Amino acid sequence: MPRYALRIEYDGRPFAGWQRQADQPSVQGALEAAVGRISPGGAAVFGAGRTDAGVHALGQVAHIDLPRAWDAFRLSEALNAHLRPNPVAVTAVAEVPPAFHARFDAIERRYRFRLIARRAPLTEDRGFAWRVNHPLDVAAMREAAAHLVGRHDFTTFRSSICQAASPVRTLDEIAIEDLPYPGGREVRFHLRARSFLHNQVRGIVGTLERVGTGAWRPERVAEALATRDRSACGPVCPPDGLSLVEVAYPAPLFG
């Protein structure tokens, strides 16, 4: 039975998250419904990560097993035809070895968060960025973020319902861009790690925003991390603006 890897992008706003749910729409559910339309009996879709409700993706990866061989281009076309009108698209397909697993074989995940600081409401980027109506000190945010890079116990920055066996993670990079935006500034966060905890990125960005406003000293982020106490975290920011940008593997999947 051939196995295929899929690269997927989606607008997370209509969904209760990636994971299949009995009574709410999910990205996994939409994909499995599309697979069921092209393959008798359907097939389970296994994703590289479980994005939360409202979180977007440009480079989610999943795998499926199908009872017959498909040309990669024809498979992507067939799935996209049956995904409509859901805001989900399969952007690449590749046949992979039977032992490949989208989640367990991943060696790196990259997330991007867009934060826009301006007084005026967002229009075009509404739902795809978090707007705050005050200026931000990006230099202070970068200073604070440096305390989080490396291997740490991230209990402070994970959800109380996180199911990960260990809160220890290695955060390889937090890069923060300061960009012009009409009527204000856009602050873009790029986070890279092998894996992330539930709400870890949103907890980090929400905390760094407090530093950017001057409400927190940069050193307070290191102090909060050291407490290993969820109550020491800053506010968890909304999912608007968060996107899973890329999942990497030991060898490129899609050329």
Contact in structure between 69 and 93 (CB atoms under 8 Å)? no
Domain identity same for 92 and 9: yes
**Above 90 in pLDDT, residue 41?**
no
Which residues face 185 on adjacent strands?
117, 180
Domain identity same for 158 and 34: no
Domain identity same for 85 and 172: no
Q: Per the domain annotation, does 251 fall within a domain?
A: no
Marked catalytic residue, from 11, 52, 105, 178: 52
Q: Per the domain annotation, does 51 fall within a domain?
A: yes
Among left, alpha and beta (phi > 0; psi -120 to 50; other), residue 183 is left
**Section 90-113 average pLDDT:** 98
52 belongs to the catalytic site: yes
Which of 37, 71, 105 delimits the end of a domain?
Answer: 105
Domain identity same for 130 and 198: yes
Domain identity same for 201 and 234: yes
Domain identity same for 112 and 67: no
CATH of the domain at 12: 3.30.70.580
- The count of structural domains within the chain is 2
Which of 68, 88, 105 delimits the end of a domain?
Answer: 105
pTM: 0.96
Which of 71, 105, 139 delimits the end of a domain?
Answer: 105
Vertex 235 angle, CA 229 and 239, to 5°:
120
**What DSSP string runs through the chain?**
--EEEEEEEE--TTSSBSS--SSS--HHHHHHHHHHHHSTT----EES--PBTT-EEEEEEEEEE-SS---HHHHHHHHHHHHTTSSEEEEEEEEE-TT--TTTT--EEEEEEEEEEESSPPSTTBTTBEEESS---HHHHHHHHGGGSEEEE-GGGS-TT---S--EEEEEEEEEEEEEETTEEEEEEEEEES---TTHHHHHHHHHHHHHHTSS-HHHHHHHHHHT-GGGS-PPPPSTTEEEEEEE-SS-S--
**Above 90 in pLDDT, residue 163?**
no
Domain identity same for 118 and 100: no
pLDDT digits (tens, 9 = 90+) for 198-242: 999 999 999 999 999 999 999 999 999 999 999 999 999 999 999
First to last CA, the chain: 22
Q: Per the domain annotation, does 48 fall within a domain?
A: yes
CATH of the domain at 162: 3.30.70.660
Domain identity same for 166 and 123: yes
pLDDT digits (tens, 9 = 90+) for 145-161: 999 999 999 999 999 88
Domain identity same for 124 and 233: yes
- What pLDDT does 146 receive? 98
Domain identity same for 64 and 31: yes
- What pLDDT does 162 receive? 86
CA distance 60 to 7: 6
Q: Per the domain annotation, does 254 fall within a domain?
A: no
Q: Per the domain annotation, does 7 fall within a domain?
A: yes
Domain identity same for 92 and 122: no
User: Which of 243, 250, 253 shows the shortest CA–CA distance to 60?
Assistant: 243
Boundaries of domain holding 47: 3-105
Q: Per the domain annotation, does 116 fall within a domain?
A: yes
